[in-house]
Amino acid sequence: MAFLQDPPQLSHPYRSDRSLLALLDRALPTERRATLDVDLDALGDYAQIAWQRVCTTTRRKPVLTQWDAWGRRVDRIELTPAWQEGASMTTRHAVLAAGHANHQHARLEQFARVYLYHLASEFYTCPLAMTDGAATAIKASGNQALIERALPHFLSRDASTLWLSGQWMTETHGGSDVGNTETVARQDSEGQWRLYGRKWFSSAVVGEAALALARPEGAASRGTAALALFYVETMDGAQRKPQLQIDRLKDKLGTQELPTAEIHLDGLPAWPLAELANGVRQVAPMLNVTRTWNTICAVASMARAISLARDFATRRQAFGRPLIEQPLHAHTLADMQAEFEGAFALAFEVAHLLGRVEQQAAEPHEATALRLLTPLAKLWTGKLAVQISSEALECFGGAGYIEDTGLPQLLRDAQVYAIWEGTTNVLSLDTLRALAGDNLAALRTTCAAWLERNDDMHAVSAIRQTLDAAARWLDQHASTRDQLEAGARGLAFTLARCAAAALLARQASWSSQHADPRPAAALHRFVGRGLDRLVAPDVDNTALLLG
């Protein structure tokens, strides 16, 4: 029999994830672990079953049937198995509901679940993110009638009553520039608001509700201030409302199990969340929550890619020894691991801080830092997930390029993190928005607290010096908007790396006291790979090159 290579095996994503275990050991009171561990164990089991499914079945996509045999418009979507299991998995393990529990660790506990469920869910986490965001925005609006109507469904722990919510924002003209929204809201003769228009990326179209931006008739024809935020319901019993039509499902590079749709609204009844203006300000709490989901899902993809690549390196022999004993291969894997540990630390700090801010358990400077860290974490992890997934595929040689290994899907799916919920550049500009005033000072105060008690003086001084350089860069370019914007990505990557390094330092101090030197090794390596990504924004040079 010719040689047959052992395929990579997926270790238990919870029990073998030392970063997650150490984080929970450090950050959570012991008495909170009992229930959480049961859910995390079960979600880890499910992830292993799902990986087997990926490796042994032909990949399927959702199918839209617009008309039945008798000519009725039905817009029925047949879902893949993981999607059919989504409501029961979500409610049984409180993937959504846990985040809205009434204590400061609620978000951390929720996002630990999300991290383990995400890849097995085949991006069912996308509508879950939207639903979580909708619940958060509705709470923030203070609209009591909507809180009472929608939240028991959105946060249900019973699959039969769970509702998913969409976020209908993106349009063909609007895109990232949401101020160009063309959907119109008009009141009928009975005073009921109704929406008319086309939404271009609707990933929770199988859901029962959505939050939608629309321009009330008669409001200014441009700009986000003239938009209002509406709540809609999509179903009449088991039937989709006739005023909502699904034009087609998108044919996407990745996330192919996720039925992302183009839709038309033709008089769909709608209820404003609050005032009939400033819709983007009202939807912002939703954006910040969905961007946190994006971040956690991105680190989940990194963890999966590294776990498989590392396992394969112990099974694959080349040039007389296992890959893991080859110095360059081992070095490559260790670089990936160090970057991942930085990203993991930042992602979960954003999650934890979100919960602490929501429960009024955070200091004011931490709340300010959260506003800044949310886009930083999203934009940096989105890019890093693509890099790490790409590197991981290379670790398998040609096998990493072959569809039925299940590996190419990791890379194709990872590309969405840099696009979903705002591109890297949109998020870099949001970072500038979040830095307005003296908000860098709040980040520096927060980083200083994370660095307390760390004795890696090389790392501590590199972080401080890089934050000083970022502050100088901001001072230097603050007065010239074009320069500021042109360099915003470099600034954002620098701040993200500094925050990640400071958080790794905090984890390293704790882990060293618990006889685990690996986070300290990750810190050393992460800092060694450089924190400073500041660029000189040469606008004239850019114009020449593009001319």
Closest to 20 (Cα-Cα) out of 366, 511, 509 = 511
Binding mask 203-222 for ligand MFK (x = CB under 6 A): x-------------------
d(CA 424, CA 376): 9
Query: Binder to ligand MFK among 209, 430, 456, 502 (CB under 6 A)?
Result: 430
**Segment contacting ligand MFK by CB under 6 A, of 153-161, 274-282, 376-384, 390-398:** 274-282
Query: Binder to ligand MFK among 193, 420, 450, 510 (CB under 6 A)?
Result: 420
224 counts as binding ligand MFK under rule CB under 6 A: yes
In the region spanning residues 165 to 184, those forming contacts with ligand MFK, defined by CB under 6 A, are: 169-170, 176, 178-179
d(CA 1, CA 11): 28
Number of other residues whose CB lies within 10 A of the CB of residue 453:
10
Name residue 223's beta-bridge partners. none
- Least Å from the CB of residue 475 to ligand MFK: 22
Query: Binder to ligand MFK among 11, 48, 104, 278 (CB under 6 A)?
Result: 278
| Residue placing its CB nearer to ligand MFK in the complex, 280 or 333 | 280
Name residue 230's beta-bridge partners. 212, 272
* Cα dihedral 95→260→430→232 (10° resolution): -70
| Residue placing its CB nearer to ligand MFK in the complex, 422 or 519 | 422
Q: Which residues contact 523 (CB under 8 A, 6 or more apart)?
A: 456, 459, 501, 504, 505, 508
3-state helix/strand/coil string of 465-515: HHHHHHHHHHHHHCCCHHHHHHCHHHHHHHHHHHHHHHHHHHHHHHHHHCC
- Least Å from the CB of residue 349 to ligand MFK: 18
Closest to 392 (Cα-Cα) out of 418, 415, 411, 412 = 411
| Residue placing its CB nearer to ligand MFK in the complex, 91 or 288 | 288
Dihedral pair phi/psi, residue 173, rounded to 5°? -80, -40
- For tokens 């004993």, the residue is 325
- Least Å from the CB of residue 249 to ligand MFK: 11
Strand-pair category, 184-187 with 193-202: antiparallel
> What b/e string do you get for 221-240 counting C-beta neighbours within 10 Å, with b at 16 or more?
eeebebbbbbbbbbeeeeeb
**Segment contacting ligand MFK by CB under 6 A, of 89-97, 362-370, 378-386, 414-422:** 414-422
Count of positions on this chain that bind ligand MFK (CB under 6 A): 27
**Segment contacting ligand MFK by CB under 6 A, of 76-84, 307-315, 357-365, 415-423:** 415-423
83 counts as binding ligand MFK under rule CB under 6 A: no
| Residue placing its CB nearer to ligand MFK in the complex, 225 or 361 | 225
Closest to 522 (Cα-Cα) out of 22, 12, 13 = 22
- Least Å from the CB of residue 178 to ligand MFK: 4
d(CA 276, CA 270): 12
d(CA 192, CA 366): 42
419 counts as binding ligand MFK under rule CB under 6 A: yes
126 counts as binding ligand MFK under rule CB under 6 A: yes
Q: Which residues contact 419 (CB under 8 A, 6 or more apart)?
A: 382
- Least Å from the CB of residue 398 to ligand MFK: 28
Dihedral pair phi/psi, residue 534, rounded to 5°? -65, 145
422 counts as binding ligand MFK under rule CB under 6 A: yes
439 counts as binding ligand MFK under rule CB under 6 A: no
Burial of 42 (0-12, 13-18, 19+ CB in 10 A): middle
| Residue placing its CB nearer to ligand MFK in the complex, 255 or 509 | 255
Report, in angstroms and rounded to the nearest whole number, the Rg of the chain calculated over CA atoms: 24
Q: Most distant CA pair in the chain: distance in Å?
A: 80
232 counts as binding ligand MFK under rule CB under 6 A: no
Query: Could you give the 3-state DSSP secondary structure of residue 267?
Result: strand
Query: Binder to ligand MFK among 421, 446, 496, 502 (CB under 6 A)?
Result: 421
409 counts as binding ligand MFK under rule CB under 6 A: no
**Segment contacting ligand MFK by CB under 6 A, of 141-149, 237-245, 277-285, 352-360:** 277-285
281 counts as binding ligand MFK under rule CB under 6 A: yes
Query: Could you give the 3-state DSSP secondary structure of residue 76?
Result: strand
Query: Binder to ligand MFK among 19, 136, 156, 288 (CB under 6 A)?
Result: 288
Query: Binder to ligand MFK among 116, 119, 137, 258 (CB under 6 A)?
Result: 258
d(CA 134, CA 393): 36
- For tokens 């028991």, the residue is 152
- Least Å from the CB of residue 101 to ligand MFK: 23
295 counts as binding ligand MFK under rule CB under 6 A: no
| Residue placing its CB nearer to ligand MFK in the complex, 176 or 192 | 176
256 counts as binding ligand MFK under rule CB under 6 A: no
| Residue placing its CB nearer to ligand MFK in the complex, 169 or 451 | 169
* Sites of contact with ligand MFK (CB under 6 A): 123, 126, 169-170, 176, 178-179, 201, 203, 224, 255, 258, 260, 278, 280-281, 284, 287-288, 416, 419-422, 426, 430, 433
